[in-house]
Amino acid sequence: MFLHLVVAANFAELVSVTILSRHGQRTQMGETIYYTPDKDLMQGHLTKLGMKQHLILGQRLRKHYSATNIFGDSYSPSRIYARSTNIPRTLQSAVSQLSGYFENGNGPDNSTTIPIQTEVNDEDYILQAYVKCEYVAKSVQAFRGSPQYVKWEEEHKAVFEQATALVGIPINSTNVEQLNSELEFKALDVPLTDIEQQVAKSVSDASTDLWKLAFNISDPRYERGLNGMIFGEFFRSNPAIDLQNHNKPHQRTLHTSQAYENSYNVRLYSAHDTTIFAILHSFKVDITHIPKVASAFIVELHTEKDGAPYFEFYYVVNSTQDASRPLASDMTQLTPKGCDNAKCPVSTFQKAWENQTYLHTNLHTYLANDCGNTQSYVPDPTVIYKGGKTGVVFGFLTVTAMLVIAAMWMIVMTCVEKVKKSKQGTYQKLSDQSETSD
Ligand SMILES: *[C@@H]1O[C@H](CO)[C@@H](O)[C@H](O)[C@H]1NC(C)=O
Ligand SMILES: *[C@@H]1O[C@H](CO)[C@@H](O)[C@H](O)[C@H]1NC(C)=O
Ligand SMILES: *[C@@H]1O[C@H](CO)[C@@H](O)[C@H](O)[C@H]1NC(C)=O
Ligand SMILES: *[C@@H]1O[C@H](CO)[C@@H](O)[C@H](O)[C@H]1NC(C)=O
Ligand SMILES: *[C@@H]1O[C@H](CO)[C@@H](O)[C@H](O)[C@H]1NC(C)=O
């Protein structure tokens, strides 16, 4: 009872919670090296365990915040917002996590049915800037040819040999990260042998080192390109934060969406290890492993008694299959740069991160300055846009009507050309989407 009261007091001024989580356990992508769970499922899809992990994460979140009214007793569209990358496993993770938010859902048989917004992958700068932002992608590519990379490869020869001996096919810099994932997934299904545990540890350390080098964020432009838009999400419309109307979302984030005009209390972003890793790196967290499946980064927005807003940031390190384990026992509190302690006034954060953060109104600036010119997103030449067919319907038209139509056609084509210019890349094929991030 006493504990409960303490928690309630702590949360008295909680305004909103933003959860950015990695998808749960998935099947393999590409050729299996060593282990794949649920072989019968499609590649890269969420496994049943992956669904369970997110269902349980959702339940633990609800319990953790139960002393507040942040989730509400039942789903309300003005309270809860969910967004996912446009990839099956993250969408499935979002569905699963949202099902854990309420004891009695809003759907038939008490199921939970909550809309999930998504964005075409080529325009998802919030959750997938790692691959979509040209400057970021080029920096990562350049890293693969750098002396640091060669050094990393040299230093990990023994790890590759040890791993090769275990799995029976050559393990090197190109597939060590995949083996790391596969061992992570296997450990969730069956206990690893001693040798497997050893290899899992060294392969995890090697992959984590590699990522730390690749996500080297001492270049402000790189950091902005990678994280700028998602940092902007922390400031999305909320009465507790007055941003002089700078918090209006850009249209581009809305075209599939429930309008982002409400003061959401809970916002779920379903994404990837890369998304979380980049943020942790920006936060200067001492990262010991690549974010595990169903791990999460959490942003709490509180207000002081006088109404002054402040952030608290947490990293949910471990997911678990135990719904009764308190979430707090797996949460590590983070202190962002610029803040004296973990309780970081919004104005302090905003000032300290002014060069890293993009608000939605600045999408064009972001694209032009930090992600390269949007014109450079040329469609894949192998993809041909098959528009509607023009039928032969002119036989009965009078000359006048044809002239009017011709004039209208020219106007329309001019517009189409403009739209094409500004939206190049929209027709890029999506089939390779699941290969670009984990
Ligand atoms: C739905 O929840 C209500 C309230 O807890 C309960 O009475 C009812 O039996 C549940 N229905 C189903 C189909 O589980
Ligand atoms: C890694 O090994 C694979 C075969 O397993 C090979 O195709 C690839 O070229 C190797 N890459 C490097 C960088 O050695
Ligand atoms: C990190 O980036 C800085 C500046 O961009 C560069 O000087 C440094 O060599 C990089 N470090 C690594 C390990 O790539
Ligand atoms: C996560 O789990 C590992 C191993 O089970 C444990 O050592 C570690 O302390 C846990 N971390 C947190 C923050 O609970
Ligand atoms: C942001 O960049 C400007 C221009 O380089 C610099 O003057 C300012 O100190 C930077 N702000 C922070 C908080 O680092």
Segment 351-362, tens digit of pLDDT: 999 888 887 777
Q: How far is the CA of 157 from the centre of ligand 2 (A)?
A: 13
Residue 119 resides in a domain:
yes
Residue 177 resides in a domain:
yes
Residue 405 in this model has a pLDDT that exceeds 80? no
Q: Quick one: 235 and 342 in the same domain?
A: yes
Average of per-residue pLDDT across 327-340? 94
**Token code pair at residue 216:** 């080297």
Backbone φ/ψ region at 344: left (φ over 0), alpha (ψ -120 to 50), beta: beta
Residue 127's pLDDT band (cuts 50, 70, 90): very high
Choose the final residue of a domain: 179, 214, 249: 214
Express each pLDDT in 281-319 by its tens digit: 999 999 999 999 999 999 999 998 888 889 999 999 988
What domain range includes position 116? 2-128+219-367
Residue 324 in this model has a pLDDT that exceeds 60? yes
Average of per-residue pLDDT across 168-193? 96
The CATH number for 247's domain is 3.40.50.1240
Q: What is the pLDDT at residue 2?
A: 37
How many domains are contained in the chain? 3
> Which has the minimum average pLDDT: 193-197, 391-395, 403-407?
391-395
Choose the final residue of a domain: 195, 214, 233: 214
Strands (E), 43-119: 80-84, 117-118
Tokens 């432009």 sit at which residue? 221
Average of per-residue pLDDT across 397-426? 47
Ligand nearest to the CA of 172: 2
Residue 415 in this model has a pLDDT that exceeds 50? no
The percent of residues in the chain predicted with pLDDT above 70, rounded, is: 76
Q: Quick one: 107 and 237 in the same domain?
A: yes
Q: How far is the CA of 140 from the centre of ligand 3 (A)?
A: 11
Q: Quick one: 14 and 106 in the same domain?
A: yes
Residue with the nearest Cα to atom 2 of ligand 4? 318
Q: Quick one: 205 and 225 in the same domain?
A: no
Residue 134 resides in a domain:
no
Q: What is the pLDDT at residue 262?
A: 61
**Token code pair at residue 261:** 């005009």
- Burial code (b: 16+ CB inside 10 Å, e: under 16) for 231-254 equals bbbbbbbbebbeeeeebebbeebe
Residue 372 resides in a domain:
no
Element holding 185 (H helix, E strand): helix 176-189
Express each pLDDT in 199-226 by its tens digit: 999 999 999 999 999 988 888 899 999 9
> Which has the minimum average pLDDT: 40-54, 89-103, 168-182, 222-236?
222-236
Residue 256's pLDDT band (cuts 50, 70, 90): very low
Q: Quick one: 306 and 350 in the same domain?
A: yes
- Across the chain, mean pLDDT equals 81
Q: Would you say the C-alpha torsion 213, 217, 223, 225 has a positive or negative sign?
A: negative
Residue 133 resides in a domain:
no
- 310: Cα separation from own chain's centroid: 23
Residue 384 resides in a domain:
yes
Q: How far is the CA of 52 from the centre of ligand 1 (A)?
A: 21
Residue 55 in this model has a pLDDT that exceeds 50? yes
Q: Quick one: 362 and 256 in the same domain?
A: yes
Q: Which residues line ligand 3 (CB under 6 A)?
A: 148, 213, 216, 218-219
Substitution candidate for ligand 5 out of 217, 219, 351, 355 with most atoms within 8 A of CB: 355
**Token code pair at residue 311:** 């952030």
Q: Quick one: 88 and 229 in the same domain?
A: yes
Length of the chain: 438
Q: What is the pLDDT at residue 368?
A: 85
More confident residue, 240 or 22: 22
